[in-house]
Structure 1
Amino acid sequence: MLNLIAIDDNASALSTIEKYAAKVAWVNLIATFTSPLAALDFLGENTIDVVLVDVQMQDISGLDFIHIVKQKQGTTIPAFIIISAFNQYAIQGFDLNISDYLLKPFGFDRFLTALEKVRVNGHAGITPVSSPSNIGLFVRQNSKHLQINPTTILWVASNGHTVQIHTRLDTPLLVTETMTHMESVLQPYGFHRVHKRYLVNRSHIKEINSSSIMMEYRPEPIPIGKTYRSVIRQMSSNSI
């Protein structure tokens, strides 16, 4: 059983989390908070497995909240899942070793995937369930689902009504998923959206320029979209 709390100053977002949590037999939503300060007091007196926390809140941000808890909790630190309508905090979040990053509005399947990751991999005092060390992601290809190891993906490109998944193989894998879905499931593995048509694996970036990115195993540069330049600046300010 995973015991969790959720923190968001948006009551509607908390209502959605309550609805989703009620569907999962091994999830126990202990409490919800609209105030991160109230949640800090609660964590000081209770042991929780998972904390879902928004980023933009009054009093303190979700990122500051995570930092404070990590300093105060000692060895018993819960897993953190950020829930946000904005993707620009993803790099900072994963630098804080969060377990997942959910982009609002997220569906039940994405919510379940995030919690299943914590349950399987374990975190802090959580004992992981038996599972293969490398769990693949399932992607749709017409009427079937294919399993792929996310660590083998170099970049993902939108191609009209399909998405191309590029690995070291010469021929990319064509799947019938959306870029929004691919972004949400690959973010925990170090992927970043750099353009409306491109999602890149941070581990395979060779060089970041002012308007493009050079990737391993790709001779042509990948363009950086204007709306993603703030994310790129944050990425390049950290070691890659």
Structure 2
Amino acid sequence: MELINYVILDDEPIAHRIIEGYCENFSFLNKVGNFYNGFEALEFFRKENADLLFLDINMPKLTGFEMLKSISDPPKVIVTSAYQEFALEGYELDITDYLLKPFGLDRFIKAINKLRITKVQDEDQLKEGFPSKIFLKSDKKYVQLELKEILYVEALGNYTKVFHSGGMLICPDKISDLEEKLPAPAFIRVHKSYLINRNQIDFLEGNQLKIGKVMIPIGQTYKTKLQGFLN
């Protein structure tokens, strides 16, 4: 995997040391900056670019989210905060993951794996010219969804249930039909009854994966293919 250049924005020096130590476990992570207040980070992003920002939120003068909203072309963001109440706003800003301090290496690894899945999906869609939206028929009308908002698809006989960030649609398509409509490898079949958006995976454990609050089974015939995409 190509290098991912990252920066850290946090007003606590010990937080920088912890993140740097965790990042040393990944050969493709390359640090290009340490910032201790939002204005330092803004100055950097006016002149330079980075692929990933580890972002603290509750800082004096300029909060992490205020800084993020001021960047015209923001990088991928992994929030590192001691305050859980900012999580909803974070996901509205399209962050990759939200790490609640204090977090351990295991949780950090999950965030980096999620970042890698997101990066591969973005690169694949850009390379192949995939559309960012799709129309799906539901209840005699066509509903337009952002591909990135689709969580997973569940087979329902000759129909499918399409779960997305705003709810669920019942579509008059077999799961094999939607498998052809939704662009691979961003979307991948993991079970005879499930098709998932790789970008939405929280973690894999044994023969299951978690998306949101739902545990989805991984069929034995699909497991090798899935692991191939994640390695």
| TM-score, scaled relative to structure 1 | 0.54
Residue 117 of structure 2 corresponds to: 120
Q: In structure 1, what is the Cα distance between the partners aligned to 2:67 and 2:29?
A: 23
1:111 to partner: Cα distance? 1.6
CA contact (8 A) 1:120 1:128 kept: no
Task: Name the CA distance, whole Å, in 2 between partners of 1:59 and 1:128.
Answer: 39
When residues 147 and 33 of structure 1 are mapped into structure 2, their CA distance, relative to the original with a 3 A threshold, is: same
Q: Which runs of 4+ in 1 moved over 2 A?
A: 126-139
Report the alpha carbon displacement of residue 38 of structure 1 after superposing the two structures with TM: 0.6
Deviation at 1:148, TM superposition (A): 2.4
Root-mean-square deviation (CA, aligned residues, Å) is 2.6
**Alignment partner, residue 63 of structure 1:** 65
Distance 2:120 2:90 in 1: 16
> Relative to structure 1, is the Cα distance of residues 56 and 67 closer, same or farther in structure 2, using a 3 angstrom cutoff?
same
CA distance in 1, matches of 2:51, 2:120: 8
Could you say which residue in structure 1 is the equivalent of 2:208? Answer: 147
Structure-1 separation of matches of 2:21 and 2:58: 22
Q: Aligned match of 2:87 in 85, 90, 94?
A: 90
Q: Is the 8 A contact 1:6 1:52 kept in 2?
A: yes
Q: What amino acid does structure 2 have at the position aligned with 1:64?
A: E
Decide which structure has greater strand share: 2
**For residues 165-184 of structure 1, what are the structure 2 equivalents within 5 Å?**
none
Give 1:132 deviation, angstroms. Answer: 5.8
CA distance in 1, matches of 2:213, 2:59: 36
| Farther off after superposition, 97-106 or 127-136 | 127-136
Q: Which residue identity lines up with residue 204 of structure 2 in the other structure? A: F
Alpha carbons of structure 1 residues 25 and 63: separation in structure 2 relative to 1, 3 Å: same
CA contact (8 A) 1:9 1:35 kept: yes
Indicate the SS of the match to 1:52: strand
- Structure 1: distance between partners of 2:124 and 2:105: 22
1:155-203 CA deviation, whole Å, 9 max, x = no partner?
xxxxxxxxxx6x8xxxxxxxxxxxxxxxxxxxxxxxxxxxxxxxxxxxx
- Structure 1 residue ranges without an equivalent (≥5): 140-144, 154-164, 168-240
TM-score by structure 2 length? 0.56
In 2, distance between residues paired with 1:149 and 1:9? Answer: 33
Structure 1 position 113, deviation (Å): 1.9
SS of equivalent residue, structure 2 residue 85: coil
Task: Report how far residue 97 of structure 1 moved.
Answer: 1.1
Q: SS state of the match for residue 56, structure 1?
A: coil
Paired residues of 1:119 and 1:128 also in contact (CA < 8 A): no
Residue-by-residue CA offset, 1:204-238 (whole Å, 9 max, x unaligned): xxxxxxxxxxxxxxxxxxxxxxxxxxxxxxxxxxx
Q: Contact conserved, 1:121 with 1:128, CA < 8 A, in 2?
A: no
TM-fit CA distance, 1:123? 8.3
Instruction: Name the CA distance, whole Å, in 2 between partners of 1:43 and 1:87.
Output: 26
Letter in 1 for 2:123: T
Once the two structures are superposed, the pairs formed by residues 1-240 of structure 1 within 5 Å of their partners are: 1-69=3-71, 72-73=72-73, 77-122=74-119, 127=123, 133=187, 134=196, 135=198, 136=201, 137-139=203-205, 145-150=206-211, 153=214
Q: Deviations over 1:105-164 (max 9, x none)?
A: 11122222212222222289x63699663345324xxxxx342242571xxxxxxxxxxx
For the Cα contact (< 8 Å) 2:124–2:186, is it kept in 1? no
Shift of 1:33: 1.1
Q: What percent of counterpart residues are identical?
A: 27
